[in-house]
Structure 1
Amino acid sequence: MNNFVFENSTKVYFGKGCVAENLPALTAAARTILLAYGGGSIKKNGVYDEITAILRSTGKQVVEFDRIMPNPTYEKVLEGAALVRENQADLILAVGGGSVMDCCKAVSLAAAYDGDVWRDFWAKPGIIDFQTVPLGVVVTVSGTGSECNGGAVITNQKVKVKTGRDYPALNARFALLDPAYTLSVPRTQILSGGFDTLSHIMEIYFSPPDTENVSDDLAEALMRGVIRDLRAAARDPRDYAARSNLMWEATMAENRVLKLGKQTDFQAHMMEHQLGAYTDCNHGLGLAVLHPAYYRHICEKGTVKFARFAARVWGIDPVGRSEAELARAGVEALADFIRELGLPATLRELGVRSETPLKEIADSVPLTPGGYGKLTHAEVLNIFKACY
């Protein structure tokens, strides 16, 4: 294991009924709460009514911050920050999935900062040496794992950049995870979120060190679990056991535990982020399109790990195969799984057209050094073309 420092300050409450049981005490010290959510699905499934009833029964002033979009924009962050300041909110409660949580982390920072938040904290890494507005989250859509880290991915539409930073100071104070809240999520969104979870684990796993280590052991077990539970949820979206497993697997994938001692890759995420900045495509579906093509491209440089992936995650018999053949078989098993779930396999299925400026997008992709060989922008463009 390489050296590391581990930090995670979020307290998690998991299971049926955890919101009603714990939210009153967790919000006891707050007077004015910014209640943040997305397009309004929580008003259809009863979550909104339950949470607002709890808050109002305890005398809270509730200020609503709604219509947070799937790829939250910097403009939306500034809108939320203005609401916090105008109403002197002393707690932000994010109710939703990764986009809502990410937006609210950025709001908690922007509301407490007088400068240009994008320039100082997203365009480049910054130092948070001041108190941000406290944040709590109620997860209704699992997949991103945003509930248990300080990461937030924000899109600046003016400069066409979608980027994320992870600041421990932005970790939610508490996270309430009731798997029953996710049961009304549409099937496509279940699969998209679940694949995002699998992608997070793979992005950590496919990076040095390649010697046996605890982080990779945990990653292999979690990948097998996500594959099992996605298959179960695809067969029966109301399968509570599968949905509860997927919820916790998403949290485990991004609570920083798997990253300990790892370089990490996240090149596929960088490619998808810029596709999203230009096309607003679904994040998890974009990753499903990109991963097989990207892994075919780098497989030979990471043969040892890809062979291990094939044998330990997909159960492919290594007998009679060279290490290189086994590695390639692992990548194709992933591609077969994507097709099995009915996820898209081409950029065209995501709405990318011949007039989409793929070269411009490729040239805007940040190139990460952590995986098996740093790409060039020309290679990124070739991967996009292979996916088209």
Structure 2
Amino acid sequence: MNNFIFQNATKVYFGKGCVKEYLTCLTNDAKTILLAYGGGSIKKNGVYDEITGILKEAGKTIVEFPGIMSNPTYAKVQEGAKLARENNADMILAVGGGSAMDCCKAVSLAARYNGDIWDDFWARPGVIDFEPLPLGVVVTVAGTGSECNGGAVITNEEKKVKTGRDYPALNPRFALMDPTYTFSVPMRQMISGSFDILSHIMETYFSEPNEDNVSDDIMEALMKSVIRNLRVAIKNPEDYTARSNLMWDATMAENRIIKMGKKCDFECHNMEHQLGAYTNCNHGCGLAVLHPVYYRHIYKEGLPKFVRFAENVWGIARDGKTDEELALAGIEALAAFIKEIRLPITLKELGADKAQLKEIADSCGISQGSYKPMTHEEILAIFQECYE
């Protein structure tokens, strides 16, 4: 394995009833809490009442920061930072999925920084040499794994750029993860979020080294877990075992463990982020459209790993197939799974404008970890193949 340094500062409280059991003691040092959430689904499913009830009983002042969108914008980050400063918030509590968590990581930084965090921390890597506003999270959607890292993907609408950075200083102090909180997530959101989990794992798996390593072995088990448990959850959305497994799959995919010793690719994420910046499309849906086509472009350069993917994840027997035939069979199994779970398979379905594809392609970042280094011309070719 390649050399690495591992760190993860987030303390996880996992399981049914964990919010009731632990939230009060985890907020002991805070008097004023910025309560952040999305479009209001937590008010329909009872999560909002449970959390606010616990905080009020503990004597906390609650400042609400609602309306975080699925692709959080820099303007929304600035709005949250202003609220936190004006109300002297001691802590942020983000309740929701990756969007709420990502937005609040950026808010925790902006609330204690006098400059422009986009220019200084997102447009280019920065150095956090001060203490961000403490952040805790309550996870209600399994997908991004944002609960156990310092990563935050933010869209600058003015510049039409969607980008992510991962700063260990922005790791949440704690993550409360009750799988029952995910039961009420709409089916489409549950499926697209689960594909995002699978994508995170694949983006790390399909990268060097190819030699035997612990990370690849873990990832094969995780990919099989996502596929198996998503099928169960589609049939029965309140299957606790399936939903708890998907929730922990999401965390394991992005808590940095599987990335140890790996170069990582994330070119598909680079491409999808820019599609999202232009179309505001669902992240998991965009990834589902891109992955099979992207892999058909790079499988020859990463042939041994694509053979492993076919055999160890999809259980495809060699039966006289060449390595190339076996690799392609694994990619086709992925494409068939995407159709099975009824995610989109074309950019046209996502609302992309064909006339804008070159502009979007030219704006995409180029991954240094891809088996086959991309050019903007090849990214455009991939977009065109994905269009319809």
Give the TM-score normalised by structure 1.
Answer: 0.99
Counterpart secondary structure, 1:43 = helix
Q: Name the structure 1 match of 2:369.
A: 370
Aligned residues between the structures:
387
Opposite residue 379 of structure 2, the aligned amino acid is V
Distance 1:59 1:52 in 2: 10
Question: 1:226-245 residue pairs with structure 2 within 5 A?
Answer: 226-245=226-245
Distance 2:281 2:57 in 1: 40
Opposite residue 213 of structure 2, the aligned amino acid is N
Opposite residue 351 of structure 1, the aligned amino acid is G
Opposite residue 186 of structure 2, the aligned amino acid is P
Matched, 1:119 2:135: no
How far the C-alpha of 1:354 sits from its partner, in A, is 3.5
Distance 1:84 1:37 in 2: 14
Counterpart secondary structure, 1:263 = coil
Distance 1:250 1:108 in 2: 23
Gaps in structure 2 of 5+ consecutive residues: none
Identity %: 69
Opposite residue 213 of structure 1, the aligned amino acid is N
Q: Name the structure 2 match of 1:80.
A: 80
Distance 2:230 2:382 in 1: 26
- RMSD over aligned Cα atoms: 0.6
Counterpart secondary structure, 2:128 = coil
Opposite residue 383 of structure 1, the aligned amino acid is I
Question: 1:30-179 residue pairs with structure 2 within 5 A?
Answer: 30-179=30-179
Give the TM-score normalised by structure 2.
Answer: 0.99
Distance 2:56 2:101 in 1: 22
Distance 1:158 1:282 in 2: 20
Distance 2:20 2:115 in 1: 38
Distance 1:333 1:258 in 2: 23
How far the C-alpha of 1:101 sits from its partner, in A, is 0.1
Opposite residue 373 of structure 2, the aligned amino acid is K
How far the C-alpha of 1:73 sits from its partner, in A, is 0.1
How far the C-alpha of 1:324 sits from its partner, in A, is 1.1
Gaps in structure 1 of 5+ consecutive residues: none
How far the C-alpha of 1:125 sits from its partner, in A, is 0.3
How far the C-alpha of 1:234 sits from its partner, in A, is 1.4
Q: Name the structure 1 match of 2:266.
A: 266
Opposite residue 376 of structure 2, the aligned amino acid is H
How far the C-alpha of 1:319 sits from its partner, in A, is 2.8
Distance 1:189 1:276 in 2: 16
Q: Name the structure 2 match of 1:340.
A: 340
Matched, 1:349 2:349: yes
The range that moved more, 228-237 or 18-27, is 228-237
Distance 1:58 1:317 in 2: 58
Cα shift readout 1:159-199 (whole Å, capped 9, x = no counterpart): 00000000000000000000000000011001000000000
Distance 2:354 2:130 in 1: 47
How far the C-alpha of 1:348 sits from its partner, in A, is 1.1
Distance 2:80 2:263 in 1: 34
Cα shift readout 1:198-238 (whole Å, capped 9, x = no counterpart): 00000000000000100000000000000001111111212
Cα shift readout 1:69-101 (whole Å, capped 9, x = no counterpart): 000000000000000100000100000000000
Matched, 1:307 2:307: yes
How far the C-alpha of 1:379 sits from its partner, in A, is 0.3
Opposite residue 57 of structure 1, the aligned amino acid is E
Distance 1:29 1:156 in 2: 34
Distance 1:283 1:132 in 2: 27
Counterpart secondary structure, 1:301 = coil
Distance 1:320 1:374 in 2: 31
Distance 1:304 1:235 in 2: 34
Counterpart secondary structure, 1:300 = coil
Distance 2:318 2:256 in 1: 31
Distance 2:335 2:372 in 1: 21
Cα shift readout 1:27-83 (whole Å, capped 9, x = no counterpart): 011000000000000000000000000000010000000000000000000000000
How far the C-alpha of 1:353 sits from its partner, in A, is 3.4
Distance 1:287 1:261 in 2: 24
Distance 2:80 2:353 in 1: 34
Matched, 1:181 2:181: yes
Distance 1:253 1:111 in 2: 29
Matched, 1:385 2:384: yes
Matched, 1:196 2:196: yes
Distance 1:367 1:204 in 2: 15
Opposite residue 334 of structure 2, the aligned amino acid is L
Structure 1 residue runs of 4 or more that deviate by more than 2 Å after TM superposition: none
Opposite residue 78 of structure 2, the aligned amino acid is L
